[in-house]
Chains A and B, each alone.
Chain A
Amino acid sequence: MIEARNLHKAFASKTGKVVAVDDVSFVANNGEITGLLGPNGAGKTTTLRMLYTLMRPEPGSVSVDGFDSVRDAEAVRRRLGVLPDARGVYKRLTARENIAYFGRLHQMPESEIAARIALLSKALDMDDFLDRQTEGFSQGQRTKTAIARALVHDPMNVILDEPTNGLDVMTTRGLRDFLRQLRAEGRCVIFSSHIMQEVAALCDRIVVIAKGRVVAQGSADELRAQTGEGDLENAFVKAIGSDEGLHP
């Protein structure tokens, strides 16, 4: 379970202070997929970065399974599987070596790493390219490698930043099934997207973010009720205040 409480984050820039995240709070439960929906630049990536301890909330707090992200950063990272916005893989290593490297950094025994790789490779349909060096991989193959690497230690909480970015239709479908499988296993899944249909198709709870603030949250039905719009797309547009970035 991941809880974000009153997250704030601002950056200094040449033109002055830029507020990226302005009082974001939400709870992501186990056995649910929570979607962070918002246009590009809404503050989704910065919010996620605070969840996986890359950045400190200033102020605000994050807890993962009860561990505080600042005081117990290491314990938090142990419980998280993260697919960041940056998902580069080592091009001179094979997909298997890339995944195993992260397994070792999680201090897993070699036998367990091998077993997890076999499992993930099957679930993500990676067997064809598992032992090839990743140089020249397609976007989909790279993303799968990065997801497998993020989940090698069998984490209870999974954070994915725009996981379907740049993927073709078939790979996207496969990925959705995979996320549903994670949910069925009782994990807490958070993913961000700027595509409404994707969030609507997958998520149990939706957190709509615009200009660094949460403008609406709840299930699809709750959102419809909150905004008084029968159509989900209209509900989103009303919540965000524009229809910018809501289409693939």
Chain B
Amino acid sequence: MNHNAIAAMITVMLKELRDLFRDKRTIRIALLMAFFNPLLMLGLISMTEKRVSSQLEKPLELPVVGAQYAPNLVAWLSGQNVDVLPAPVDADATIRNQDRDVILSIGKDYPKDWHDGMPAKVEIVHDSSRQDAQIPVERVENLLQAYSQTMGSLRLVARGVSPAVVSPLRVAHRDLATPESKRGLALSFLPYLLILSGFLGGANLVIDATAGERERQSLEPLLATPSTRSAIMSGKIAAACLFGMLILVLTLVLYKLAFTYGPSTGLKFDVSLLTMSKLLLVLAPVVLLGTTLLTLIAASAKSVKEAQGYMNILVMLPLIPTLILLVNPIKTQIWQFAVPFLSQNQLIMKLLRMEVVTPAEWSIYLLSGFGLGLLLWAVAAQLYHRERLAISA
């Protein structure tokens, strides 16, 4: 590119940015998105946290059917942070209507079986498809297990047998998840939000600068200036990339503020300046990709409306790896760093989990990411040279 082309590119870029910053509506929407992003995450995380901790710690409300058959068990449960409630008229209906998370049902054979030293039947009534009932059900199960084990041990001791005899295995968990990787789990769709705002943050500007310019009949005079079409297009792409990066920086700064000064979520999120800069580097190729792809679409679409129609599909693109990883989690492998959207997903997760990204992974990622962006740029430039481009209607 010669000196003239670069000068033209910069002129176009500055004009597009000036034009954009006078467009109050577009700026307002962009700012709203930047604010919405961390707020949504913060809200989601604190909601999850609150539910988990309240369900774990607050007294478990447990209606018991047939409490009179097992007074000892019920008394023991009451001593374990359980509020034993009177039985509902129809236990099954109560669960089905989601009036209660879990109900304990004690059969009328319980006293007889207990005395005979036979396993006495107790039933946990619940709906396994209800996610929010999972924790209460688990708590009841664990309590009954503990009671059963204690009573079993006491019976063995009464017969002069060591309880260890019936415990050939002692299973214990050693959870190697770092606190950081647990955070990563909770933040599993933070990558999508970040990728999306990088991918489509400058979308309005891009569509307006090509399809909008043609629709408003100002592209033809612009192409009658000595500037080459590639230089004009590059200026528009550069303006959109710059704006996209600006939105990203703002979003990340807001994330930092939200997680530093926002309500404590119990989850700490790595908001160090270094991680933030790395995130920005990960997202830079996404900005280029989105901008060039949209330029390509805007240059071939007949109108702004048609170009905007493609947005519905583009919004879905970064979601694909998130969804695939959700149903089919795969181990991170080197080839993944060359796949758009999947690579960003993996890298952002790695950074949030404070895992090391190797130089090889960085180079594969940046080369393929920017490479694809430049390829799309070249294709878009080809489209810009078509005669049809300038002519509206």
**Is A7 positioned at the interface, with any CB of B under 8 Å from its CB?**
no
By beta carbon, the residue of chain A nearest B15 is A101
Within 8 A of B (CB), among A143-188: 146, 149-150
Instruction: Kindly name the residue among A54, A56, A149, A150 whose own CB sees the greatest number of chain B CB atoms within 10 A.
Output: A54
**Is B223 positioned at the interface, with any CB of A under 8 Å from its CB?**
yes
Q: Which residues of B contact A88 (CB under 8 A)?
A: 213, 216-219, 221
Q: Which residues of A contact B390 (CB under 8 A)?
A: 54, 86
Q: Which residues of A contact B8 (CB under 8 A)?
A: 105, 107
**Which one of A26-34, A72-80, A199-207 is at the B interface?**
A72-80
By beta carbon, the residue of chain A nearest B235 is A105
Contact A105-B218, Cβ < 8 Å, known A54-B387, A92-B19, A92-B23? no
**Is B226 positioned at the interface, with any CB of A under 8 Å from its CB?**
yes
A54 touches B18 (CB 8 A): no
CB < 8 Å neighbour of B225 from A56, A91, A106? A106
Contact A77-B226, Cβ < 8 Å, known A86-B392, A92-B22, A150-B221? yes
B219 touches A107 (CB 8 A): no
CB < 8 Å neighbour of B4 from A89, A97, A102, A107? A107
* Docked CA distance A175–B213 (Å): 26
**How far in angstroms is the closest Cβ of chain B from A95?**
13
B387 touches A80 (CB 8 A): no
Within 8 A of A (CB), among B1-43: 4, 7-8, 11-12, 15, 18-19, 22-23
* Docked CA distance A92–B130 (Å): 54
Contact A82-B218, Cβ < 8 Å, known A54-B390, A56-B387, A77-B226? no
CB < 8 Å neighbour of A52 from B218, B224, B227? B224
**How far in angstroms is the closest Cβ of chain B from A74?**
5
A82 touches B221 (CB 8 A): yes
* Docked CA distance A78–B224 (Å): 9
A86 touches B219 (CB 8 A): yes
Residue-wise interface mask of B (220-254) relative to A, using a CB-CB cutoff of 8 A (1 in contact, 0 not)? 11111111100000000000000000000000000
Q: Which residues of A contact B7 (CB under 8 A)?
A: 107
Report the number of A-B residue pairs with Cβ-Cβ less than 8 Å.
77
**Is A104 positioned at the interface, with any CB of B under 8 Å from its CB?**
yes
CB < 8 Å neighbour of B227 from A89, A92, A105? A105
Within 8 A of B (CB), among A68-117: 74-75, 77-78, 80, 82-93, 97, 101-102, 104-107
B4 touches A77 (CB 8 A): no
CB < 8 Å neighbour of A84 from B23, B224, B228? B224
B218 touches A74 (CB 8 A): no
**How far in angstroms is the closest Cβ of chain A from B19?**
5
Q: Which residues of B contact A101 (CB under 8 A)?
A: 11, 15
CB < 8 Å neighbour of A82 from B11, B19, B216, B224? B224
B226 touches A105 (CB 8 A): yes
Residue-wise interface mask of A (25-65) relative to B, using a CB-CB cutoff of 8 A (1 in contact, 0 not)? 00000000000000000000000000011111000000000
Q: Which residues of A contact B15 (CB under 8 A)?
A: 90, 93, 101
* Docked CA distance A230–B31 (Å): 70
* Docked CA distance A83–B224 (Å): 9
* Docked CA distance A93–B23 (Å): 10
* Docked CA distance A84–B220 (Å): 7
By beta carbon, the residue of chain A nearest B387 is A55
Q: Which residues of A contact B216 (CB under 8 A)?
A: 88, 91
Within 8 A of A (CB), among B259-290: none
Q: Which residues of B contact A89 (CB under 8 A)?
A: 218
By beta carbon, the residue of chain A nearest B221 is A84
* Docked CA distance A133–B24 (Å): 14
**How far in angstroms is the closest Cβ of chain B from A66?**
17
* Docked CA distance A150–B218 (Å): 12
* Docked CA distance A55–B220 (Å): 11
* Docked CA distance A75–B228 (Å): 11
B19 touches A90 (CB 8 A): yes
By a beta-carbon cutoff of 8 Å, the part of chain B in contact with chain A is 4, 7-8, 11-12, 15, 18-19, 22-23, 213, 216-228, 387, 390-392
Show 22 residue pairs from A and B whose CB-CB distance is below 8 angstroms, ordered by the A residue. A54-B387, A55-B387, A74-B226, A82-B224, A85-B220, A86-B217, A86-B218, A86-B219, A86-B390, A87-B217, A88-B213, A88-B216, A88-B221, A91-B216, A93-B15, A93-B18, A97-B18, A102-B221, A105-B12, A106-B225, A107-B4, A107-B7
For the complex of A and B, the 6 pairs showing the least CB-CB separation, nearest first, are A88-B217, A88-B218, A86-B217, A82-B224, A86-B220, A92-B22
